[in-house]
Amino acid sequence: MARKLFGTDGIRGKANQEPMTAETALRVAMAAGRRFTRGDHRHLVVIGKDTRLSNYMIEPAMQAGFTAMGMDVVLVGPMPTPAVAMLTRSLRADLGVMISASHNPFEDNGIKLFGPDGYKLSDDVEAEIEELVENGLLEHLAPADRLGRARRLDDAQGRYIEFVKHSFPRGVRLDGLKLVVDCANGAAYKVAPRVFHELGADVIPIAIEPDGTNINRECGATSTGTLQEAVVAHGADLGVALDGDADRVILCDETGQVVDGDQVMAMIARSWHETGRLSGGGVVATVMSNLGLEKFLESLGLSLERSQVGDRYVLELMREGGFNLGGEQSGHIILSDHSTTGDGLIAALQVLAARADAGKPMSDFAQVFDPYPQILKNVRVSGGAPMDAKTVKAAVDAGEQRLGGEGRVLIRPSGTEPVIRVMAEGRDEAAVNAVVDEIASAIAEAAA
């Protein structure tokens, strides 16, 4: 069955437009409730959200859908995505739901689902849920005496804060360290500053005043300018930028230099390799990660295994190969010894732990490898199959030949937006730019 609802990271779209309407949210909840109802016990679902205005619409719709199917609901309010994954396991729930569009602007929203093991659902399970949404659910409604109930979990924030702190090495503290923490006016606006403060850091929190419409606006992991300025202005040792649901992190050093997810993985991999904690003989990343990361890992005798884009595909490959470190250049870092999904706070703490061992300022510690020049351009499309056009295929072939063995070309449709992403990297930056421009122009012409 062709996927109509689910993309690379759950369901996503414009709020109050299909598929992110109250009606569809209700039906998705009913279908997921039906799929995860097994046995005669009281079934339980955990629902978290970020700070978007539309969550006042989506959350109660999903609550209604689950209770209609006889599932009890635990509402945890604004909480990071990894907190929902953790609480789903901790509470022995049958299902976890995070209502968020991650790094997207407030006009968008999304639904991420977690199984009882705290992992994101597989493609096959998502397809089953889609089929249930399409084929009717009324015959499965719970009788009046079996309807679900809803309650709030008052200590959800405290539980998650302690969970994150537990990932930090025992006996290590952040005393004397000044941190700027950008919470993106999103799901971690309360918990993130507390984690670092309770571990001893002097915390300067920014973007902690969500109003329903300012999530990710000129702040957070996808817009680091404000963080960089604040780090320099306050003389901070490090800047930490989370995205709207705090499952990704981007750092900046004391000079304001951005440290992306590839460098974060390199820092953790080096530290864990030196201390014998790295499993699987390498790291799992996506096809988007820089060749410089691959070359650096090779210099340590480690491999870089690549998955398709999407942190759940990274995790699938990690589980298959026994890796405990993986992630994406965008800042989704999965540390499977600690969490079942990307967790920006845990990743930041692992970097801080490694830095404490090295005893160096972040600017000397964070730029682990020299990245190859990498250019990414998004080409907006309205439909059709421009990638099948002969002119596009010819442009791709010509680009690959031009870069030769010192570079690569990657073309892929976005799973969350109506765009085709054109990426190239290689040692010659001018050649990389030219290749991307030529391929992007060919796609735009073919899509016109």
Q: What is the pLDDT of residue 39?
A: 86
Q: Residues 189, 78: contact at Cβ < 8 Å?
A: yes
Q: What is the pLDDT of residue 448?
A: 80
Domain ranges, ordered by start, for the chain: 6-154, 159-257, 259-365, 374-447
- Residue whose C-alpha is closest to residue 340's, from 158, 81, 161: 81
Q: What is the pLDDT of residue 2?
A: 61
Looking at domain 259-365, its CATH architecture is 3-Layer(aba) Sandwich (3.40)
Return the sign of the alpha-carbon dihedral for residues 25, 31, 32, 37.
positive
225 three-class SS:
helix
Fold of 6-154: Alpha-D-Glucose-1,6-Bisphosphate; Chain A, domain 3 (3.40.120)
DSSP state of 122: P
Q: Residues 271, 354: contact at Cβ < 8 Å?
A: yes
Fold of 374-447: TATA-Binding Protein (3.30.310)
Question: Which residues, 6+ apart, have CB-to-CB distance to 320 below 8 Å?
Answer: none
Q: What is the pLDDT of residue 264?
A: 98
Is-catalytic flag, 303? no
Question: Which residues, 6+ apart, have CB-to-CB distance to 89 below 8 Å?
Answer: 116, 117, 118, 340
Q: What is the pLDDT of residue 413?
A: 87
Residues in the chain: 448
Assess whether the region 259-365 and the region 374-447 belong to the same CATH fold: no
**Catalytic annotation, pick one of 100, 102, 336, 339:** 102
Q: What is the pLDDT of residue 416?
A: 67
| Amino acid found at 267 | M
Could you state, in chain order, the average pLDDT of each consecutive group of 10 residues for the chain (448 residues)? Answer: 80 96 97 92 97 98 98 98 98 98 97 97 94 83 96 97 97 95 98 98 98 98 97 98 98 97 97 97 96 95 95 95 97 97 98 89 93 94 87 94 89 83 94 96 91
CATH 3.40.120.10 at 159-257, yes or no? yes
Q: Across the chain, how many H-helices and E-strands are there?
A: 14, 19
> Per DSSP, what are the bridge partners of residue 216?
none
| Amino acid found at 131 | E
If 0-12 CB within 10 Å is exposed, 13-18 middle and 19+ buried, where does residue 4 land?
Answer: exposed
- What angle, rounded to 10 degrees, do the helices at 344-358 and 261-274 form? 50
